[in-house]
Structure 1
Amino acid sequence: MEENIIIKEDATDRISELPECIIENILLRLDKPKERVRVSVLSKKWFALTASLPVLKFLFSDFTDEEDWISNRDVRDNFYNYVKHTVSRFCRQQNTKIALTFKLLTVVGDNTELDIIEKCLELILMRGVKVLDICIKKSRKSNCQPMYRLRDMLSSASTLTSLQISDCVMLPSSLMVDVVNFKSLKALSLNRVPLNPLVIKHLTASCPLLQDLVVECCYGFKKFCVYGQNLKTLRFIDYNGKGIEAIDIEAPNLCECLLSVGQGRGATSVILGSCKQLRTLYLDGPFFQTSIGFADFLSNFPFLENLSLCLVNRRNILAVSSPSLRNFVLYDECDLEEIDMNTPNLHQFRYSNSWNCSKGEFIKESELKTCMECHIINKVDTLWLLKLRRFMEKANIFKILKLYNLYGRLSVDSEVLKVTQLPPYELEHVELNLPIRHVLPVLDGLLWCLRPRSLSLTSGFSRISDEERNHFLKCISKRLIQQEDQGPTNIRIEWSLPSKDRIYFSWSSVLTALTHNEMTQTVTFRKEGPDTDEGQRWRKKYQRQRFKQVQGSLGR
């Protein structure tokens, strides 16, 4: 007997039963407006939540792929209608949460669009927005694009925690005279906007919780003054070509400071005397033209750990003295002989005579020993190697040397280095990154100045023949062995690839792992013998033989 099986359809709306927090999380992950509109039709609950999302982001780039945004009037109309509709719909919701974020990145073609921006901002500010980001981009074709001045009611937005203003936007004129009510503001960023000289000082002094301040490429002032009792990080960049006369920062709790100024008609004076807690400092521009002025300036920071310098038009020897300094980055065309360092706790030093390495970045403390890293272009010759050896001996703190990006003119005469009869400076490790055609002549001169326990070379070894590669390995191994006069020394050769964290002990195994995208490989030569247990016995035996030879010569 067949049984009748009745299957009841489950009419439960599983999507609508999801908790609101999960639906909001899903909606917030959808960046583009079209995606949110599509999912809003899933249910009435989803539709209502799309209207009450606390994060409102309006990016004109989501509506067009054209480079010049202002040229298409229809796209602009669609965008501003969407902004006006979404903001008004959000503000009409009952029991709506506080607007956490309002971000607007757009262009303006006429005053009608400015009116829409102004009305939307007024509604959002009344809702207690916390994060406000407004950027009105300049058009490439319109020379008379209108500027938008923020309304005075912005200065009374007590709920704001973060404020970012960029391009064709002006701050309220009331900020110069009225009391600012930014009680909750912690982060302020101003980019490419006109500034009155008194606005920044008045603004920072009126924000008791301000911790992060960014002022980039703004204009309309010659002096930059900041007062911030709780300011932690400061980033000031000025490249308007006219230069800044003076920078005065009074922030006793400042920990990180970046000051970058373009070349003007003269030097820029900088005062950071009250910033005793400073840990990280970047200086780029015509700040100090004498070593005495910089030495006095640096003595104000007893806890400074990271220092990056690019001092334009510097005339004298650069003297850096800091007992607390750990990382030092120097961009300068000066000779190594012009650098005088008194940094007993320095861990890493990067020196570059060009802009080929990332500006303002510190080397991660991955090395256990004190390391010097050089990026040199067009200056690696016999004289430079001699100066490098003298500099390392004078500093007497470095155990590892890294030479990168040695491009341009490379001219080394080993015979000249032999005549100097200076003993090679001993290091634990040396790293070289060179074009394959320059490796042997540069390395031969380098090994007359330095004596490393291990040596790593990164170059295009796959571009040369097997015969050339074997000759290359034999020459370097022989040269390294010639440096050791304390018993027999073996050379262990290791290969590695940039994409793989693995060591290979033969070129054939490297070829097996090599991909077509990997143009460079690294070979490491390690000296084995004197520093091992067996090597210690050979060293003692060599010392006894040498002692007998000396005794015999004295007896004769």
Structure 2
Amino acid sequence: MRRGFNTIDKTIGQRRKLSEEHLDKLDRRVESRDLISQLPEYIIHHILSFLNDTKDAARTSILSRKWRQMWTSFSVLIFDQHKIQQQEGRQDIRNMKRAFTDFVDNSLKSHLERKLSIQKLVLHITRYDFELATHMEQWINIAIENNMKELDLHVVKKSKRYKLPPTIFASKTITGLRLHGCMLKSHCDIKLPKLQKLYLHKVCVDQQIIDNLISSCPLIEDLRFIHCTGLKVLRVSGLLKLDRVEVHHCHGLEEIEVKAPYLQTFWYCGKESMHCKIDLVAYFSLKRLTLEDGNMTDEMFQDRLASFPFLEKLDLSKCNKLKNITISSVWLRRLVLRGCKNLVEADIDAPNLFSFEFKGDRMPFSFSNPLSLKEAKFSFEPVHIRSYNHLGGEDALWFTRLRKLLEKLKHSNGLKLVVRSKKNVIIHENLEEILLPPQSDLKLEIIKPSMGLEDLLDNLLRTWHPEILSVVSSPSSEFPKLVHEKMMHRVENPNCCTYNTRNKCWRHFLKGVKIENIEAAAGKRTFGWIPWLKSSPTVLHQTTSYRLSWEPVERMLSKWRMMSMLNPTSVSSVI
């Protein structure tokens, strides 16, 4: 028996060694305060569906006797070829493929022997060939025969794509299809009366296929096309349940026409080289609109905005032909302007705006009303300021507008200004006295974290590890102390990201924190802006600085990958 299966057998054996007496004690200990076991079974299964693999689901068995029973009947089967073959160690390709097919065969057999249904089947295939295609068809057919509701099929193949078995399109139980790297034949007969969600990623389609889907799948609510090919015109109509449509970078697509009386979300992303006409008829129902359209003019945007008076969220990214626009709405709650590099003026009249995010190299927006934002993130990059005392031209205009913006935001309690440059970061606790250091790579963020200090540090340090972190606050403020405690009082081996080796948070990399004397550090490389701090004695007096040391990211990732291979912590399917 190969090592992967020995690992599974060992896990099962260890679980069985727990005596009934010990489990009874565990149950009695939590019985008096066990509220989660009172949840209905379908809710518990829904919670389990968010976990990455069976190992995580198995860990929930310690919660109570009911959860111990529930995870064994968990009906989401996840088979990731790469993960399973990685656990098998170094073998030739043929043996690795056989290990994967045997693993899936045995897992499906074990699941069906217990007479369990299949809620969802996930197949992530990284080494696809014609031999494996036969096994895949068998697995999918078994799942369909056992009333599978969702299929998530991801095939990594650069040349020929996987041809889907016709049984998929005759299922009376499937409600969700997520297909990646597959082939859909125009002539295939489609009858999916319960299909609600259809996601097509790197799938070759044409209008005939779409027409077949629409005519035979009347309950579709969520329709997404991502990097699909073969489609010149996308026409969608006649779907009364349709709630969401997304189209992302579909090469060759020239026209989109959507007629949906109850559509609430539309999302389009296209490159500037892709000219795509969009005709969207949603009968005033649309609430969320996201556009990344490099060919949308001011007039086109204003016409679209006028068509949807009840819009609550608007996201404009890389709309590089926009120059002068007006956004006026009493319903608008969230607004994002990101990377619209030629935007000169955006006049915003949205008195009920709750959240605003901006990213760009200038400040082309203005607000007609005082702001009471609950969430805000503004990133200005790069800001080329020669010196605080020698502002001129565009720099002076930019600085004046920033001042006006900060003035409007004073009444939005809790906003903090984050100033970044090279390896330095300064957090201004309030927006009263702000000075900008004379750096050419300056980045500013005005943030109000919805969950306070911890959320702020997570946002700031997750992908960027500064050498110096400074806090500017009033002498009576507790904020610098709280920042220091949050960074110092962390466990040596935090378990906050135990099950994710690739996306660890800052707590896993932070090696040390020391309070830094600013004036003593004046000659150090990281304090190029010391003259700026000294130019304002008030700011200098209110500044607390910390020197942070970090573990190298690549070294830590290599270490975790090696540990994962030597001691696998996940099983890729339900036993």
Question: What is the TM-score of this pair, normalised by structure 1?
Answer: 0.59
**SS of 1:272's equivalent?**
strand
Choose 183-192 or 494-503, whichever is displaced more: 494-503
Query: Which position in structure 1 is the counterpart of 2:81?
Result: 60
Structure 1 contact 196–220 (Cα < 8 Å) conserved: yes
Give 1:72 shift: 1.6
Q: Deviations over 1:448-468 (max 9, x none)?
A: xxxxxxxxxx9999969xxxx
Residue of 134, 150, 170 corresponding to 1:131: 150
| 1:229 paired residue number | 240
Which residue of structure 1 lines up, in the alignment, with residue 285 of structure 2? 277
Aligned-pair distance for 1:442? 12
The count of corresponding residues between Structure 1 and Structure 2 is 409
2:397 to 386, 390, 400: 386
Between 1:67-76 and 1:294-303, the stretch displaced more is 67-76
Equivalent of residue 170 in structure 1, options 180, 183, 192: 183
Aligned to 1:101: 120
Q: Distance in 2 between matches of 1:278 and 1:15?
A: 56
- Give ranges in structure 1 of 5+ residues lacking alignment: 1-11, 40-45, 356-366, 409-427, 444-457, 478-490, 504-513, 527-556
Secondary structure in 1 matching 2:86: coil
Quote how far apart the aligned CAs of 1:159 are: 0.5
Aligned mate of 2:101, from 41, 66, 80: 80
Alignment pair present for 1:314 and 2:321? yes
Select 2:263's aligned residue among 245, 254, 262: 254
Cα displacement string for residues 27-68 of structure 1 (whole angstroms, at most 9, x for unaligned residues):
9989369x99xx9xxxxxx9xx97x86333222133222999
Q: For the Cα contact (< 8 Å) 2:384–2:439, is it kept in 1?
A: no
- Residue identity in the other structure for 2:379: H
SS at match of 1:254: coil
* Inter-partner Cα distance in structure 1 for 2:167 and 2:91: 28
**2:345 match:** 338
1:170 partner letter: M
SS in 2 for 1:74: helix
TM-superposed CA distance for 1:182, in Å, is 2.0
Within-5 A mapping of 1:81-480? 81-88=102-109, 90-91=111-112, 93=113, 96-138=115-157, 146-167=160-181, 169-175=182-188, 178=189, 180-227=190-237, 228-238=239-249, 242=251, 244-265=253-274, 267-274=275-282, 276-289=284-297, 291-314=298-321, 316-334=323-341, 337-353=344-360, 368-369=372-373, 373-381=377-385, 382=391, 383-387=394-398, 389=400, 399=410, 404=418, 407=421, 429=431
RMSD: 5.3
Shift of 1:402: 6.5
Alpha-carbon distance between aligned partners in 2 of 1:352 and 1:437, rounded to the nearest angstrom: 20
**Per the alignment, do residues 252 and 203 of structure 1 end up closer, same or farther by CA in structure 2, a change over 3 Å counting?**
same
Contact 1:287-1:311 at 8 Å conserved across structures? no
- Measured after TM superposition, the shift of residue 302 of structure 1 is 1.7
Report the secondary structure of 2:230's partner residue.
coil
Contact 1:337 1:387 in 2 (8 A): no
Give ranges in structure 2 of 5+ residues lacking alignment.
Answer: 1-18, 28-36, 62-67, 363-370, 386-390, 423-429, 445-459, 487-509, 519-535, 540-575
For residues 169-212 of structure 1, the C-alpha deviation after alignment (integer angstroms, 9 at most, x for no partner) is 2235445xx4x332222222222222223323542453233222
**Residues 477-516 of structure 1: pairs in structure 2 closer than 5 A:** 494=477, 496-497=479-480, 500=483, 516=512
Q: Which amino acid aligns with 1:282?
A: T
Post-superposition offset of 1:133: 1.2
Per the alignment, in what secondary structure is the counterpart of residue 378 of structure 1? strand
Task: State the Cα deviation string for residues 119-148 of structure 1 (Å, max 9, x = none).
Answer: 22122212211111111223xxxx65x432
Distance in 2 between the 1:55 and 1:370 partners?
38
CA contact (8 A) 1:377 1:406 kept: no
Q: State the distance in 2 between where 1:394 and 1:73 align.
A: 63
Instruction: Call closer, same or farther: CA 1:378–1:211 in 2, change over 3 Å.
Output: same
Deviations for 1:421-473, whole angstroms, at most 9, x for unmatched residues? xxxxxxx9469696x6659x999xxxxxxxxxxxxxx9999969xxxx9xx98
Kept in 1: contact 2:230–2:252 (CA 8 A):
no
Render the CA deviation track for 1:302-330: whole Å, top value 9, x for unaligned.
21111110243315312323232122111
CA deviation vs aligned residue, 1:82-108 (integer Å, no higher than 9, x gap): 3234435555x48x2432121111234
Percent of residue pairs identical:
22
CA distance in 2, matches of 1:276, 1:123: 44
Q: CA deviation at 1:368?
A: 4.4
CA shift in 2, pair 1:201/1:281, >3 Å: farther
In terms of Rg, which structure is larger? 1
Alignment partners' CA distance in 1, 2:151 and 2:344: 51
Provide closer, same or farther for how the CA distance between residues 438 and 493 of structure 1 changes in structure 2, counting only shifts above 3 A: farther
Q: Give the corresponding residue for 1:417.
A: none
For residues 339-369 of structure 1, the C-alpha deviation after alignment (integer angstroms, 9 at most, x for no partner) is 23333333443221169xxxxxxxxxxx945
1:329–1:351 Cα contact (<8 Å) kept: yes
For 1:112 and 1:495, the matched residues in 2 are separated by 65
Higher RCO by CA contacts (8 Å cutoff, separation 6 or greater): 2
Tell whether the 8 Å contact from 1:243 to 1:262 is kept in structure 2 after alignment. no
- Is the contact made by 1:336 and 1:391 (CA closer than 8 Å) also made in structure 2? no
Q: Is the 8 A contact 2:319 2:340 kept in 1?
A: no
Partner of 1:65, secondary structure, is: helix
Q: Which residue of 1 aligns with 2:53?
A: 31
